[in-house]
Structure 1
Amino acid sequence: MPVQLFEGKDHAAAYLQYRVAPHELISRIMSFMEKGKSNRFNFAVDVGCGSGQGTVLLAPYFTKVVGTDISQAQLEMAQTNSKPPNVSYRQSPAEELPFANSEVDLVTAMTAAHWFDRQKFLVEADRVLKPGGCLALLSYTMNMGLEYEDKSEALNDICKEFYAALLPFRDPYLGTDSGKIYSDMFESCSYPDKEWNESFHVKKTLPLDSYIGMVQTFSSFQKLLKKDPEEARRLSDDIRTKLLSAMKVSSPETEVTVVIKYFYWLARKP
């Protein structure tokens, strides 16, 4: 049975839960804020919020949370999802946030900041943040690993084939490693109280087909799909077959552990 290719926002939504900040990272953001010995937990803004999967994770910690995104379609999806009463959404570019000067306690962007005009966004975040407010940017590498019994090494060699095949379709704007974008932004941030975290591993257990589906949501796969649907299907089917063979199983619903490597940085406005 061939792998189902990614088609439309409904299929994508099934994988979005793995593409936002996990609870562990939200906890690290809050711990960093608490180190400032302030109770500035009134207003948080999640920039580039997409469908709001990460935005709602901030709700327990703040009186008010607003997710912003330039895409009306994404915000419409966010509005249809369940959300706490203190969460709302507004349409705006990341570089022109619809908030007053020194109004916000936390500005965050979860797997979105690499698409912003980086310098303009940093200036805008500084404008809306209160003194003592925090900026938190995070994302993850595309090179997800797999664990399954004693076959993890073989599986990861196959995964590397998958990623290598997609590399020519990666947006040149992102370069070969989006982590460098974030480290450059970190260096550009003038706040003296800041920290960079290179590697934070999160493990998720899910069916093998869902792992394939996650990779199919990558923009590089989508470009291949648009250019050559048959090649995209062939690549997915080939990788799937190789993984099943290495695992010595036949069902694509067999669960594997996906290892996602996040990186993030936190900074406090003086």
Structure 2
Amino acid sequence: MAECLYEGKEHAAAYLKYRVAPHELIAKILGYMEEKTAKPFKLAVDVGCGSGQGTTLLAPYFTQVVGTDISPAQLEMAQANSNPPNVSYRQCPAEELPFAAGEADLVTAMTAAHWFDRQRFLQEADRVLRPGGCLALLSYTLDMELEYGDVSGTLTDICEEFYAALLPFRNPYLGPSSTLIYKDMFDSCLYPDKEWDECFRLRRSLPLNGYIGMVETFSSYQKLQKKDPAEAERLSNNTRNKLLSAMGASSPDTEVVVVVKYFYWLACKP
């Protein structure tokens, strides 16, 4: 794995608490697989699984699901969850998966592949996938929007100020756009049967504090927090107060709709 992040226990706990589980995209992956390859689906490998939110969503559809991650703290959090009996976890780099050639029906990475050595990971995914197996990579842009009554536009403007303040702390390995990373990986995948979707909007109702907590799990915020904890706290509090003022609300537990803009690609190994 090219970049090792999300390794602290506190960060792993926040990741589990605040990150959104992409149920709708699991349905997209399974729909694609059912069109392209024969059942039964035996093994799914969720690479860079973090605290396992996406890993457990695969459990009803596969005989065995294995989440892999390089971070012991994330895996400790994943294993502490109430996991289905067919879900397990392994510590390993994304580029060195502990599976035999042709063993997996699905290899997926949910909001993780941008941290990998991307070409080595694609080669490793190809190695472990069986013919007819599928590769599914997904992530989201950081420009999440908020919806609340008739002030949604104002809230989104405040959110954009939040993101702009974090931009100088973006990891240079990611470059200017995560979407471009995934599009480049898509273009370099030689499987002829593949699909790209640049924007799939996923809506979740969360307390306003849940939205703030989610942004605080981003690597750019974590970098700011490590460099200047007081400034990070000031930025979060200032953003929260601006949002509450625009909403005409007093409690940070007030529910808002968070719009997360996912992008993803799917491919079937010949």
Give the structure-2-normalised TM-score.
0.94
The answer to whether the 8 Å contact 2:193/2:267 transfers is yes
Q: Deviating runs (4+, > 6 A) in structure 1?
A: none
Correspondence for 1:164: 164
1:14 aligns with 2:17: yes
Matched, 1:218 2:218: yes
Structure-2 residue corresponding to 1:3: none
Contact 2:16 2:53 in 1 (8 A): no
Provide the rounded CA distance (Å) in 1 between the counterparts of 2:70 and 2:160.
33
**C-alpha distance in structure 1 between counterparts of 2:180 and 2:245, whole Å:** 35
1:263 aligns with 263
Q: Cα distance, 1:59 vs. partner?
A: 0.5
State the alpha-carbon separation in 1 of the partners of residues 10 and 127 from structure 2.
39
1:236 maps to which residue?
A: 236
Per the TM alignment, residue 10 of structure 1 is displaced from its structure 2 partner at its CA by 3.1
2:4 matched residue in structure 1: none
Q: Is the CA contact (8 Å cut-off) linking 1:40 and 1:133 kept in structure 2?
A: no
Cα distance, 1:179 vs structure 2: 0.8
RMSD after superposition: 1.3
Which position in structure 2 is the counterpart of 1:113? 113
Q: Is the 8 A contact 1:51 1:74 kept in 2?
A: yes
Percent of residue pairs bearing the same amino acid type:
71
1:259 Cα deviation after fit: 0.3
Query: Where does residue 74 of structure 1 map in the other structure?
Result: 74
1: CA distance between counterparts of 2:71 and 2:122? 20
Listed as ranges, the matches of 1:24-173 within 5 Å are: 24-173=24-173
- Matched to 1:138, the amino acid is L
* Alpha-carbon offset, residue 151 of structure 1: 0.3
Q: What code does the residue aligned with 2:120 have? A: K
Of 144-153 and 208-217, more deviation after overlay is shown by: 208-217
| Rounded Cα–Cα distance in structure 2 between residues aligned with 1:7 and 1:125 | 30
Task: Please give the residue correspondences for 1:200-215 in structure 2 after superposition, counting only pairs within 5 Å.
Answer: 200-215=200-215
Q: Which amino acid aligns with 2:233?
A: R
- CA–CA separation in structure 2 for the residues paired with 1:268 and 1:130: 10
Count of residues in correspondence between the two structures: 262
**CA distance in 2: counterparts of 1:30 and 1:8, whole angstroms:** 30
Q: Which residue of 1 aligns with 2:194?
A: 194
**Residue 260 and residue 113 in structure 1: after superposition, are their counterparts in 2 closer, same or farther (change >3 A)?**
same
- In 2 relative to 1, CA 46–24 (structure 1 residues): closer, same or farther, beyond 3 Å? same
Name the structure 2 match of 1:177: 177
Kept in 2: contact 1:197–1:263 (CA 8 A): yes
Q: TM-score, normalised by structure 1?
A: 0.94
Cα distance in 1 for residues equivalent to 2:70 and 2:228: 29
Per the alignment, do residues 37 and 54 of structure 1 end up closer, same or farther by CA in structure 2, a change over 3 Å counting? closer
Amino acid at match of 2:84: P
**Cα distance in 2, alignment partners of residues 46 and 255 from structure 1:** 31
Deviation at 1:253, TM superposition (A): 1.2
Matched AA of 1:261: K
Q: Is the 8 A contact 1:40 1:105 kept in 2?
A: no
Q: Are 2:44 and 2:66, in contact at CA under 8 Å, matched by a contact in 1?
A: yes
Report the CA distance between 1:239 and its aligned residue.
Answer: 1.0
Distance change in 2, residues 1:179/1:76 (3 Å): same
Task: Classify the secondary structure of the residue corresponding to 1:35.
Answer: helix
* Cα pair 2:109 2:137 within 8 Å, conserved: yes
Q: Deviations over 1:11-53 (max 9, x none)?
A: 442113x1x4x21110110111111251141111001111111
| 1:100–1:8 distance in 2 versus 1, CA, 3 Å | closer
Q: Are 2:104 and 2:130, in contact at CA under 8 Å, matched by a contact in 1?
A: yes
